[in-house]
Structure 1
Amino acid sequence: MSSEDQEAQEDELLAPASIYDGDEFRKAVCPRGRNQDLFGFIFVSAICSMGRTPWQRDPVYPSIPEYYSCVQDVESLLNMIQEILDFDQAQQIKCFNSNLFLCNICFCKKLGSECMYFLECRHVYCKACLKDYFEIQIRDGQVQCLNCPEPKCPSVATPGQVKELVEAELFAHYDHVVYCSHPCCQLPVMQEPGCTMGICSSCNFVFCTLCRLTYHGVSPCKVTAEKLVDLRNEYLQAEEANKRLLEQRYGKRVIQKALEEMESKEWLEKNFKNCPCCGTPIEKLDGYNKMTCTGCMQYFCWICMSSLSRANLYKHFTDPASPCFNQLFDAVDVDEDIWEDEIED
């Protein structure tokens, strides 16, 4: 087939796509047992109609003995479907670019290649009018108004559409939009490049664009106790450039404090345990596993943290049925004579 004939065939296939709804067009299938040539790919409609039932002997498919033998490469099938969807998208764009549309801003008819449509509502406007419309809204700080110019239409332009139309410098302002951190406002605020101060034009609230709290000038952002752990992990995993940014944002003193507090916490978790009776932190200084709480004078086992009976403090370590049998001292096997001598004392 020549390239002209193939292009003509593709244009014929576009006709039902432009007439019927997209979902309705995708649902159209050929009768069972016949092949369908769609966009250069052959589909066996019987595969879809058979469902999960085993293949039945059919003279059309004498070489397929079983159902599961038909699917040899699932990945290639998925790739084929993706190619069809991409081709369909390309043909829709081709069809759009070749048609004329009326722009409801300048009321001029222009080719689709000179226009742009909003994805949700499909309203079409020429790119020149949308460019002016977007630039005016961005300069005025009304970035929440980058939606369809049609009255009461909630469709919003995608960042890619805005970037395609406006200048790079102006898009940089749009790309640095933050929202007012005041709980009663939440309106978008234009952030100047290299500046961490945001000023809401609606409620006049001045806030830090990094920590979202009241603007604090050159002072580092405040860090809550809960966030210290995240800050420490982020700092340890960051590269040198990102570490400098974190130090500039929070201050070296705060970063150092986060590191020291985490080291102290890890050391406490390793060397301290809370009394099972009153919760007082107890430090173990030697290998002796019979502990005495300095707060409530309760005896307990350092290994399993169970309370010890005052009638026989060492039964927990001498009873063979105990999980801590013969573990009065760490990694030391103690002779029974020691128990008797210590009990007598």
Structure 2
Amino acid sequence: MQKEEFDVLESIYPEYVSSQTLGGSVKLEIPVEFSSPKSVVLSEHSPWLDAAAQQDRKATSITISASALPPLLLHILLPPSYPLHSPPEIKSVRATNVWLPDIKPLRAALIEMWQEGEPTLYNWVELIRTGEFLHTLGIIPTANSDIIALPHPAPRIIAPLLTAYNTSSQSNQFAQNTYPCSICLTSLKGSKCLQLLCSHIFCRSCLEDFWKLCIEEGDVGRVGCPDPECVKKGSEASEEEVARVVNEAELQRWKWLKEKRNIERDPTVVHCPVAVCQEPVSKPTDVDTDSGWSRLRQCPRCAFTFCAFCKRTWHGPLDKCPIAQYEDLALAYLAAQEGSEERAKLDRRYGRANIRRLVAAYEEEKANMEWLKKSATMCPGCQCYVEKTKGCNHMTCWKCMQHFCYRCGQRLNPVQPYTHFSQPGLGCYNQLFDNVDVGEEDWEPVEW
């Protein structure tokens, strides 16, 4: 009866039986496979610490998604009286990667399942394979729960191992099954197919021909799932998916085209002003658009920090840019019509409030310059504007002490400054005072 039971078990699960001896010793390697992915919550716990130490110790919790867990290794001995009068003898049971530290309750649960005269090996395998034993051990709250609360002394160490096994298990299962390709309408093994993140499956040959053509033509927007539903959504392939289909040169071109497209779509991107760099620099995402900090840019390539408006070294959020540096930008904004696409692009690139403040500062500065040119005269020494309220046209700059003519702006000899107003033929002849027309005949001789 033992032989018949074992033959049936081996015919159903041939990959689970790792070894068998004539003495009734059997070793089984049983993976844990769920019907649907479950959330595995790995919480820090150590059976070597008491309750008070557990509370004092800082808890670590990591959550992963898994549809399979590493197998359990079950070593059993079938006595001659099994299954009529005695249960199988469990020599050892342990979990690979030690993902289940406390395995003793499972041993007791397996022994309790045996009923006198009834075979029990298949029930043991099913209990472990379906993961029902986790509910028996209290790790799953209810039988249909999607959450597994798994205590472990080192969650940060065991989490990557469980994730790697789950990925490998899914890949092996996928490679063994057969799937139809909706492009070439043929059914192929999973090893020759690729399942995209959207769950659609296509053969690698069809995806390779399609994606290579799109990359060659520069149409990176079409490098994605060819299914009509995903095409309508505009779903694009991830870098990992593209890397599994095309070669390295095509992958690098795809990445370059995608980066180029993203730069062209982003109106906030400006180029590094360093002549030998010219790297595209995006706007910081964690800065208020209307604040002065939104003008700050730092080149990721050469680390040069600059202002997005004037392209000069960063001068802080409060200092204004020199008007000569942003004059072209203000003129371009004023030249565009209200509500036009050109103005909308500038608003998106620099921020609506920022560009409005910049244009207002430009118009104010322009009005000030026009008034100065009309109402004041520039000092020929330091280029400061000087305004005269009254008196003669011989001026002395308060800043650089330069003597000059207020009417024409010419430098004057500080020793004999009035010679400029007494030379016939000059435009300022007899114009020491404005609005005073004095002819030669009106001069009176000085009596000594």
TM (norm. structure 2) is 0.33
The structure with the greater share of residues assigned to strand is 2
Bigger relative contact order (CA 8 A; separation at least 6): 2
TM (norm. structure 1) is 0.41
- Rg larger in structure: 2
The structure with the greater share of residues assigned to helix is 1
